[in-house]
Amino acid sequence: MIYVHVPFCKKFCTYCDFYSEIAGNKALLGRYADAVVDEIRRRRSEFADPSTFVTDTLYFGGGTPSVLPNEALTRILMALQGTGHGAPYEEFTMEVNPDDIVERGPEYLRNLRILGVDRLSIGIQSFDESMLRWMNRRHDAAGAEKAFRMAREAGFDNISIDLIFGLSNLPDEVWAATVDKAIALRPEHISCYQLMVEGESALAAMVAEGKYKEADEEQCRRQYDLLCARLREAGYRHYEISNFALPGYEARHNSGYWRREAYIGLGPSAHSFRGDTRYWNASRLDDYTVTEERLSEDAVRIETIMLSLRTAEGIDRAWLEANCEADVLASLLEKGALAVSEQGRIRIPEDRFFVSEEIIRELI
């Protein structure tokens, strides 16, 4: 698996604290591409490790990858081709902003398809005008729908959209309308995230200044339950706490993360992982240093439990019995906080996904 971080945005969302720079001129974006191409060449030996490509996927995330000029994107892809791991991939995802699709037009979408992109992840977040303005998003509701339809017309038959719930200023009826609009568009995949107050975000400053109060647990649970019920009725499979897909369209790349498969992360602030080692690039545009962390056996155990139990597939029962206290596991099964699947694996039932963190804490 390969992940490429594109640390550029045209403006910053209220809730985001990912490393990103304001997208400047082409020279700045070209400098970024130079750095990533150089990194690919320096790390060429890692691409020869077969454990990295259990799932052969490529994912451009950010930031906002759709601000990249075609030339910069092409250069990075050509460098990857030189490692022996170029297109076609099992899955090639590009995160895109609706405003970029509308502004750059059908030619941009056609070019993505020519370059091998076969899955789009569109950062819609909401179909409500007031919520989009509060989030400081670039697009409006009409632009979100237009971008989705343009992608369909360009031939993309695997589209994911992102939505956000759990805002104290998000009425239930507005959230319900957003979910219904998403269902009407019928994307193959929907990722829905509860709003979190992140440390360096504008939202964190608003909370500190008393300008925003976080939503209470009851509201968040109500909106999550509505989401789960309506997507289930519409035929979506709830295969991970925050992710829903029509059958056969589960994200291969992200599923690899939850299975703890090895991956290579390229670009500023990108993380990489192999076995018991995690390492990440510094958050600057070029000449970024790498920090490495060796995970202890207990850290691997905890991470395995946490990631596996986020999924509907769950975790191997024998492994879990050998790696947690028997009385705790028995109690959680008896209370219905955990269940045994038809395949004999331990999983968290969907109606307990919302409190999954509490269940996992008891186990670890």
Same structural domain, 23 and 123 = yes
CA geometry: angle 210, 215, 216, nearest 5 deg: 115
pLDDT in tens, the chain (364 residues): 999 999 998 887 888 777 778 887 888 999 999 999 999 999 999 998 888 899 999 999 999 999 999 999 999 999 999 998 888 899 999 999 999 999 999 999 999 999 999 999 999 999 999 999 988 889 999 999 999 999 999 999 999 999 999 999 999 999 999 999 999 999 999 999 998 888 888 888 888 899 889 999 999 999 999 999 999 999 999 999 999 999 999 999 999 999 999 999 999 999 999 988 999 999 988 788 899 999 999 999 999 999 999 999 999 999 999 999 999 999 999 999 999 998 999 999 999 999 999 999 999 8
Q: Is the residue at 178 inside a domain? A: yes
The closest alpha carbon to 164, from 130, 131, 141, 192, belongs to: 192
Burial of 160 (0-12, 13-18, 19+ CB in 10 A): buried
Q: Is the residue at 229 inside a domain? A: yes
Q: Is the residue at 343 inside a domain? A: yes
> Residue 11 has what pLDDT?
80
> Residue 191 has what pLDDT?
98
β-pair type (2-6, 277-281)? unpaired
Domain end point (choices 208, 233, 258): 258
Q: Is the residue at 280 inside a domain? A: no
Give how many domains the chain has, as a whole number: 2
Same structural domain, 301 and 359 = yes
Segments forming the whole domain that contains residue 341: 296-364
Same structural domain, 27 and 122 = yes
Strands across the sheet containing 271-274: 271-274, 277-281, 290-294
Q: Is the residue at 271 inside a domain? A: no
Residue 341: give its domain's CATH number. 1.10.10
Spatial contact of 313 and 241, defined as CB atoms under 8 Å apart: no
Which amino acid is present at 295? L
Q: Is the residue at 191 inside a domain? A: yes
> Residue 49 has what pLDDT?
87
Same structural domain, 164 and 310 = no
Residue 46: give its domain's CATH number. 3.20.20.70
Same structural domain, 313 and 192 = no
The closest alpha carbon to 127, from 166, 170, 177, 165, belongs to: 177
Domain end point (choices 201, 236, 258): 258
